[in-house]
Protein backbone atom coordinates (compact mmCIF):
# COMPACT_ATOMS: atom_id res chain seq x y z
CA UNK A 1 0.00 0.00 0.00
CA UNK A 2 0.98 3.61 -0.49
CA UNK A 3 2.95 5.02 2.42
CA UNK A 4 2.99 8.45 4.06
CA UNK A 5 6.48 9.89 3.49
CA UNK A 6 7.05 13.63 3.57
CA UNK A 7 10.38 13.84 5.35
CA UNK A 8 8.56 14.59 8.61
CA UNK A 9 6.89 12.15 10.99
CA UNK A 10 3.23 11.29 10.58
CA UNK A 11 2.75 12.17 14.26
CA UNK A 12 4.14 15.68 13.71
CA UNK A 13 1.83 16.29 10.73
CA UNK A 14 -1.15 15.09 12.79
CA UNK A 15 -0.09 17.51 15.54
CA UNK A 16 0.16 20.33 12.99
CA UNK A 17 -3.34 19.60 11.70
CA UNK A 18 -4.65 19.82 15.28
CA UNK A 19 -2.83 23.14 15.82
CA UNK A 20 -4.58 24.72 12.82
CA UNK A 21 -7.70 25.53 14.83
CA UNK A 22 -5.63 27.54 17.32
CA UNK A 23 -2.80 28.96 15.21
CA UNK A 24 -4.24 29.02 11.71
CA UNK A 25 -2.87 26.96 8.82
CA UNK A 26 0.12 29.18 7.98
CA UNK A 27 1.46 29.47 11.52
CA UNK A 28 0.89 25.78 12.29
CA UNK A 29 2.78 24.86 9.10
CA UNK A 30 5.65 27.26 9.86
CA UNK A 31 5.87 25.89 13.41
CA UNK A 32 6.17 22.36 12.02
CA UNK A 33 8.95 23.15 9.55
CA UNK A 34 10.81 25.21 12.17
CA UNK A 35 11.41 21.92 14.04
CA UNK A 36 13.09 20.31 11.03
CA UNK A 37 16.73 20.39 9.95
CA UNK A 38 17.21 23.16 7.36
CA UNK A 39 17.51 20.85 4.32
CA UNK A 40 14.39 18.86 5.32
CA UNK A 41 12.43 22.09 5.93
CA UNK A 42 13.49 23.44 2.54
CA UNK A 43 12.48 20.24 0.74
CA UNK A 44 9.13 20.13 2.53
CA UNK A 45 8.50 23.79 1.68
CA UNK A 46 9.31 23.22 -2.01
CA UNK A 47 7.09 20.12 -2.17
CA UNK A 48 4.20 21.88 -0.46
CA UNK A 49 4.50 25.43 -1.80
CA UNK A 50 6.92 25.24 -4.73
CA UNK A 51 6.36 27.72 -7.55
CA UNK A 52 6.56 25.01 -10.24
CA UNK A 53 3.41 23.43 -8.82
CA UNK A 54 1.66 26.74 -8.24
CA UNK A 55 2.08 27.78 -11.89
CA UNK A 56 0.02 24.84 -13.24
CA UNK A 57 -2.80 27.13 -14.45
CA UNK A 58 -0.29 28.59 -16.92
CA UNK A 59 0.41 25.15 -18.41
CA UNK A 60 -3.19 24.00 -18.81
CA UNK A 61 -6.13 25.66 -20.49
CA UNK A 62 -8.50 25.73 -17.50
CA UNK A 63 -11.93 27.36 -17.73
CA UNK A 64 -14.49 28.16 -15.03
CA UNK A 65 -16.93 25.40 -16.11
CA UNK A 66 -14.37 22.55 -15.99
CA UNK A 67 -14.03 19.55 -13.69
CA UNK A 68 -10.38 18.79 -12.95
CA UNK A 69 -8.86 15.69 -11.32
CA UNK A 70 -5.54 15.94 -9.50
CA UNK A 71 -4.72 12.22 -9.41
CA UNK A 72 -2.28 11.61 -6.54
CA UNK A 73 -2.71 15.12 -5.15
CA UNK A 74 -0.15 14.73 -2.34
CA UNK A 75 0.25 18.09 -0.56
CA UNK A 76 -2.52 19.65 -2.66
CA UNK A 77 -0.40 22.50 -3.99
CA UNK A 78 -1.66 21.97 -7.52
CA UNK A 79 -5.23 21.34 -6.35
CA UNK A 80 -5.50 24.44 -4.19
CA UNK A 81 -3.95 26.67 -6.81
CA UNK A 82 -6.12 25.39 -9.68
CA UNK A 83 -9.41 25.27 -7.76
CA UNK A 84 -10.18 29.00 -8.17
CA UNK A 85 -9.89 28.60 -11.95
CA UNK A 86 -12.43 25.75 -12.39
CA UNK A 87 -15.91 24.61 -11.32
CA UNK A 88 -14.75 21.55 -9.36
CA UNK A 89 -11.32 20.26 -8.43
CA UNK A 90 -11.19 16.63 -7.36
CA UNK A 91 -8.16 15.98 -5.16
CA UNK A 92 -7.62 12.21 -5.19
CA UNK A 93 -5.01 10.32 -3.20
CA UNK A 94 -4.55 6.91 -1.58
CA UNK A 95 -3.14 8.31 1.65
CA UNK A 96 -5.74 9.68 4.08
CA UNK A 97 -3.23 12.08 5.68
CA UNK A 98 -2.68 13.75 2.30
CA UNK A 99 -6.42 14.37 2.02
CA UNK A 100 -6.61 15.77 5.57
CA UNK A 101 -3.77 18.13 4.68
CA UNK A 102 -5.45 19.26 1.44
CA UNK A 103 -8.79 19.75 3.19
CA UNK A 104 -7.18 21.86 5.91
CA UNK A 105 -5.20 23.90 3.41
CA UNK A 106 -8.27 24.51 1.23
CA UNK A 107 -10.33 25.58 4.23
CA UNK A 108 -7.61 27.98 5.38
CA UNK A 109 -7.59 29.51 1.90
CA UNK A 110 -11.38 29.81 1.72
CA UNK A 111 -11.59 27.32 -1.16
CA UNK A 112 -14.88 25.41 -1.25
CA UNK A 113 -14.90 23.68 -4.63
CA UNK A 114 -12.39 20.92 -3.83
CA UNK A 115 -13.79 17.43 -3.44
CA UNK A 116 -11.54 14.96 -1.61
CA UNK A 117 -11.55 11.37 -2.88
CA UNK A 118 -9.59 8.56 -1.26
CA UNK A 119 -8.83 6.31 -4.24
CA UNK A 120 -6.28 5.48 -6.90
CA UNK A 121 -5.24 2.02 -5.81
CA UNK A 122 -7.79 0.08 -7.83
CA UNK A 123 -8.02 -1.02 -11.42
CA UNK A 124 -10.54 1.65 -12.39
CA UNK A 125 -11.05 5.30 -11.49
CA UNK A 126 -14.27 6.02 -9.55
CA UNK A 127 -15.66 8.41 -12.17
CA UNK A 128 -18.18 8.12 -15.00
CA UNK A 129 -17.16 8.00 -18.64
CA UNK A 130 -16.55 11.39 -20.26
CA UNK A 131 -16.99 13.20 -16.94
CA UNK A 132 -13.69 15.10 -16.52
CA UNK A 133 -12.16 17.92 -18.52
CA UNK A 134 -8.61 17.66 -17.17
CA UNK A 135 -6.61 14.92 -15.43
CA UNK A 136 -3.29 15.77 -13.81
CA UNK A 137 -0.72 13.10 -12.91
CA UNK A 138 2.21 14.99 -11.47
CA UNK A 139 4.78 12.63 -10.01
CA UNK A 140 2.27 9.77 -10.11
CA UNK A 141 2.59 7.68 -13.28
CA UNK A 142 6.04 6.42 -12.34
CA UNK A 143 4.65 5.11 -9.02
CA UNK A 144 1.30 3.54 -9.99
CA UNK A 145 2.76 0.06 -10.29
CA UNK A 146 4.46 0.07 -6.90
CA UNK A 147 1.43 -1.06 -4.91
CA UNK A 148 -0.19 -3.48 -7.32
CA UNK A 149 0.77 -6.69 -9.03
CA UNK A 150 1.60 -7.03 -12.68
CA UNK A 151 4.04 -5.74 -15.21
CA UNK A 152 4.66 -2.03 -14.44
CA UNK A 153 4.27 -0.98 -18.07
CA UNK A 154 0.93 -2.79 -18.33
CA UNK A 155 -0.26 -1.23 -15.05
CA UNK A 156 0.66 2.22 -16.35
CA UNK A 157 -1.08 1.53 -19.65
CA UNK A 158 -4.22 0.37 -17.84
CA UNK A 159 -4.30 3.60 -15.80
CA UNK A 160 -3.81 5.70 -18.94
CA UNK A 161 -6.61 3.81 -20.70
CA UNK A 162 -8.92 4.46 -17.76
CA UNK A 163 -7.99 8.13 -17.79
CA UNK A 164 -9.03 8.19 -21.45
CA UNK A 165 -12.35 6.60 -20.40
CA UNK A 166 -13.16 9.32 -17.83
CA UNK A 167 -11.95 12.25 -19.95
CA UNK A 168 -14.40 14.16 -22.10
CA UNK A 169 -13.63 14.34 -25.82
CA UNK A 170 -10.92 16.98 -26.24
CA UNK A 171 -10.02 16.60 -22.54
CA UNK A 172 -6.52 17.44 -21.35
CA UNK A 173 -3.98 15.22 -19.60
CA UNK A 174 -0.91 16.57 -17.87
CA UNK A 175 1.78 14.03 -16.98
CA UNK A 176 4.82 15.16 -15.02
CA UNK A 177 7.54 12.59 -14.35
CA UNK A 178 9.66 13.66 -11.40
CA UNK A 179 12.10 10.77 -11.37
CA UNK A 180 13.05 7.52 -13.10
CA UNK A 181 11.68 5.12 -10.45
Q: Could you report the per-residue pLDDT of 121-176, keeping only the tens digit for each? A: 777 899 999 999 999 998 888 888 777 778 989 989 999 999 999 999 999 999 98
The whole-model pTM stands at: 0.81
Residue 50: pLDDT over 70: no
Return the pLDDT at 57.
65
d(C-alpha 147, C-alpha 143), whole Å: 8
More confident residue, 161 or 5: 161
Return the pLDDT at 167.
97
Residue 96: pLDDT over 80: yes
Contacts of 129 (CB under 8 A, 6+ apart): 165, 166
Q: Could you report the per-residue pLDDT of 9-44, keeping only the tens digit for each? A: 778 778 888 888 788 877 888 888 888 888 888 777
Return the pLDDT at 4.
57
Other C-beta atoms lying within 10 Å of the C-beta of residue 50: 13
d(C-alpha 171, C-alpha 30), whole Å: 38
Contacts made by residues 104-111, CB under 8 angstroms, sequence distance 24+: 104/17, 104/20, 104/25, 105/25, 105/75, 105/76, 105/80, 106/76, 106/79, 106/80, 107/25, 108/20, 108/24, 108/25, 108/26, 109/25, 109/80, 111/80, 111/83, 111/84
Amino acid sequence: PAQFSWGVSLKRVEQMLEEIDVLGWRDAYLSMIADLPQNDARLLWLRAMGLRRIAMQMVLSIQKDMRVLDFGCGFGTIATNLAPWCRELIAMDQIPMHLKWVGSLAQSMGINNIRLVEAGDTKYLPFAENSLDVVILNGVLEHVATNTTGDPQQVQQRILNDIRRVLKPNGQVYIGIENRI
